[in-house]
Structure 1
Amino acid sequence: MGTKAHVSIFNVETATCKESCEDCDNVVSAILTPPNGNLSVGANLGYVVTAKMKNGQTFNANGSTTFSSSNTGIATITSGGTALGINVGSATISARDEDTGNPSWAPGSLCNFPIPSCPVFIATPTAPISVQLCPTAVTVSQTFPRSLPDLDQPLALTGVGILARMLVSPSISNYAGTIITEIVTTTGNSCPSNITDYTNFPTVFSQFTVGSPTTWEMVSFPVVTNSYYDSHRILSDTDILGLTNVSTCTATATQVYSCSGQQIGTFLLENTYTHGALSGQSVTNVLTTKTHE
């Protein structure tokens, strides 16, 4: 009488992944950040691919990502996701990500090993990148109409309604098209409470393009490509602010210029308000000073 062998057959997929492959915590989406990259020639910018699994867990997927640039003459990118600005222009960064079911690529997965029959997730998120030529530093140079420069203060300008010329370096002939951003933030105010709303420097975030025509109080700035102009205090030299019970007060602020996220210059702004009279009316005289920090 022959020996009877007992053979057990089981579904590896069901045993490993619980009920079915649908229970595996596969990656379902991936995003590339920053969504819009801006950097200067010679500067670096890091990219991150964030993968999201079916259970909602997210993780950095750079280690399993293949990065590429649509134009390596404008920007290159390393295998680790670091872009380098090469020349002025625009390109597109792509990141190809694959989920083959490997648990080491998707930590926390219910699957213990790759399941060939599971769906393979493939995504190629992309993001535009812009490279511009940025100065590395900026200093106050000279003023334009309606200013009273104070020659006793190096790197400082004092006057009524300053129009300041900002010299950038390195000094090359053409920064046309470069976008400069500016942030102004009030840092102090010794004026009476009834006029602080008028004398505080408002928090300002703005940007402008070098080489573009600009006007201020109906005065046209010269169109220049190796520097730029900035204005401070758009009101006249006197205000009817009702400065009473005090002869003088000041409001101060910091001003930061940046290019492609890199700080290129910091300045101190001060408005000095003094009580005065004009044609028999009580007025407040205003003087603005801009100093390189």
Structure 2
Amino acid sequence: MLFFVIMGALIGAFFVFFLFLVVSAFAPDLSKVITPVVISVLKDVAGPVAAGFGGAIAGAVCSYLFQRKIEREKETKADISAIHKSSIHLMMKLNELYSIKKHNIYPSLEHKLRFLDISKIPSAPNITDRVDPRVIDVALSVKDALTIDTIYLAEARYRACFENFINRNSGLDEYRASVKQSGLGREGGHTIKELYRVVGEGQLVALHMMTEQMIEVLDETLQSLNQAVTLLNDMVAIKYKGQDVVGLRFDITENEKYLVKSPPPHFNVESLVAFLRRFDEP
């Protein structure tokens, strides 16, 4: 801003000076007021010097504007690259959770005892990097706070997913250890009544609660990640409208059914407790 103020003042001063020379050349009355010596000095000395300075100033302004254009183009390319990389980053996380739900959870969702039917789940995330913070500046430039909130919520939920996987796996290990220690696990198939009498109500209810919390957080994370990817692409369309910048679009048709919220369990905590306590009756 200061650069343009100074340049504007100098250019204005030179413009006024040359305008004065032009007026003095065509206005005899003005020439009579100013001595011929002053007029001669202004034309022969000050004029060429001012012209030289004017050319230098014009060159400086053009050079500055050209450099600014190059810098803006670099910034635009960097912003677009950050958005595209962030979209791919979030999509990789989304696909990872799609795969977990598809192979480890989805086949057991309709099972009455799905908290026992769902096996252990990979507890180490494959994607540990985070979204490029530059995306925040891009979102702020278009006053898009929703995209920022959604991205960071999705990232937090992604981490929470694996924390829940770890907790549930630990609970499942304890349950299996109890069953194995009783000798029941070596006998092949066993009923829920036999399991209840071996591991007790507390362990079964705890495993049920951990499993349902895991499924709920997974569903919320899938929704948040999908929304974050969509909002990022929409932001590209808004910020770079008319600039021939294409946002990334991912085909999720094949995995759309895994975005749907999981059906509620056959048992809630109260009904499961009531169901298990029936085995206490003689």
TM-score category, normalised to shorter length: under 0.3
TM-score by length of 1: 0.22
Q: Whose RCO is larger (CA < 8 A, sep 6+)?
A: 2
TM-score by length of 2: 0.23
Greater strand share, 1 or 2?
1
Larger Rg: 2
Greater helix share, 1 or 2?
2
